Structure 1
């Protein structure tokens, strides 16, 4: 059974002034299987962020359905949605979204606190996650005391600690230097190999080249997709670059 199913999703916005309608997404269809690592790419304005917001149940499609583990997101009541997100989704953002007045440990604990978990359970969960991500030494520090790469590792730990069905990552390397980006991407590969399903929206060809499948969005539709197969990261990088060249040129020469 697919973890995520997106069926005929359309999103239309009405502009505040003039009442013009903008079609951000049209007829989007795809699914994500357990243990997959999928990247979504496209130019600015292609609909990537709109799609991510719908998948995160932060926005609703005008038409179509999104199913997470068989649950129709449109059928979940508003008062139950926050709890559903906490139980099923982990989020990694470009700007980390850490609270400066909380220690790194307390930032990681936050979704568990909101879920009503006991402190003993939180302590039990954080140790293996912190060890895996190499952040044991900074747990008592505050976000302003650590590097960007360490902040993003803390954000990944916060996403993992709830044991989510799916991690949604929005431009996770966008605020990192090249060394920290490489470390984060290696980390994503490792946690995916450990069984975590990941869906990442990115502008970065390098980031997308670590995924096992890349979906390309153009004008609100899934225009093309690439499967890794036996390709190396370098070969995947080249295939993605070639695809983006055709995408930007507006051609239809993709197989």
Structure 2
């Protein structure tokens, strides 16, 4: 298997405005992601999950340590090229969808290709198979405020996938959805992953994490523990994750 992402000795320290107080958001994070994995990252609020995601998304820089996406050190990408690098290599799915209300679903999905300067014919060829697969082909001319939360999140997933990214980063993707829409999105992620797409998802939801092939638990800025699915079913995975979160909350031993 090929490594898509390699995180080594990642540390992030924030200094308060007057420099009087330092906050260590990430202490020493180490893990790697193989091509085709579906990884969930869990941890309590303040554990460092969001900071980690921002660094992986090249939206923030670590204080020390390295993040390599394929063979590229994210720290070595010049500032003027970082947006292009992000667009070419990463797909994003956010809790609040981040769709533009002034654009149709179709134009929202095509936006990364427009920014990349793709030809319209190429864009159309990429759009239709994906829209059909995600069940939103009849909705493409509608605007975000005309569709449900689940449909918005499918459009957001289509926008993330249309560039065929190395890695999809999902931040609480089921957080704003009802249970039926959440289930549909998780099935969708599972199917996309089976087709070979690598996904890294930050979530508070045990249900969402139970569809992943591996779960990383972050506590106090470090990887505290990880669970591999192996042959476990979703119910067994749900149980294992719940037990691990209980140990985590009780301040159990670190076993990454």
Task: Name the counterpart of 1:145.
Answer: 146
Which structure 1 residue ranges, 5 or more long, are not aligned? Answer: none
Taking the aligned partners of 2:123 and 2:200, their CA distance within structure 1 comes to 25
TM-score (norm. length: structure 1): 0.98
1:71 corresponding residue in structure 2:
72
CA displacement, residues 17-49 of structure 1 (integer Å, 9 cap, x when unaligned): 452110000110000000000000000000000
TM superposition shift of 1:253: 7.9
CA shift, 1:254, in A, is 6.1
Partners of 1:17 and 1:210 in 2: CA distance:
44
C-alpha distance 69-254 of structure 1, shift in aligned 2 (>3 A): closer
Report how far residue 155 of structure 1 moved: 0.1
1:120 corresponds to 2:121 = yes
- Residue 39 of structure 1 is matched in structure 2 by 40
Contact preservation (8 Å) 1:94, 1:171: yes
CA contact (8 A) 1:246 1:253 kept: no
Residue 69 of structure 1 and its aligned partner are, at CA, apart by 0.5
Tell me, yes or no, if the aligned pair for 1:246 and 1:254 is still in contact at 8 Å: no
CA shift, 1:161, in A, is 0.2
**Aligned equivalent of 1:6:** 7
Match of 1:205 in 2: 206
Runs of at least 5 residues in structure 2 that lack an aligned partner in the other structure: none
SS of 2:196's partner is coil
Distance 1:253 1:77, change over 3 A: closer
Q: Which residue is equivalent to 1:24?
A: 25
Q: What per-residue deviation string (whole Å, max 9, x for no partner) do you get for residues 162-219 of structure 1?
A: 0000000000000000000000000000000000000000000000000000000000
Aligned residue for 2:103, secondary structure, equals coil
Tell me, in whole angstroms, the C-alpha distance in 1 between the residues paired with 2:161 and 2:252.
Answer: 40
Q: Tell me which residue corresponds to 2:241.
A: 240
After superposition, what is the alpha-carbon deviation per residue over 1:138-181, rounded to whole angstroms, capped at 9, x for unaligned?
A: 00000000000000000000000000000000000000000000
Output the aligned Cα RMSD.
1.0
Partner of 2:100: 99
- Any idea what SS the aligned residue of 1:3 has? strand
Q: How far did 1:252 drift?
A: 1.6
Q: Secondary structure at the match of 1:162?
A: coil
Report the secondary structure of 2:35's partner residue.
coil
Per the alignment, residue 187 of structure 1 pairs with: 188
Calculate the TM-score normalised by the size of structure 2.
0.98
Residue pair 1:243, 1:254 contacting (<8 A) in 2 also = no
Indicate if the aligned counterparts of 2:7 and 2:67 stay in contact, CA closer than 8 A. Answer: yes
| CA deviation map 1:88-109 (0-9, x unaligned) | 0000000000000100000000
How does 1:78-89 map onto structure 2 within 5 Å? 78-89=79-90
Q: Is the 8 A contact 1:92 1:167 kept in 2?
A: yes
| C-alpha distance in structure 2 between counterparts of 1:252 and 1:86, whole Å | 39
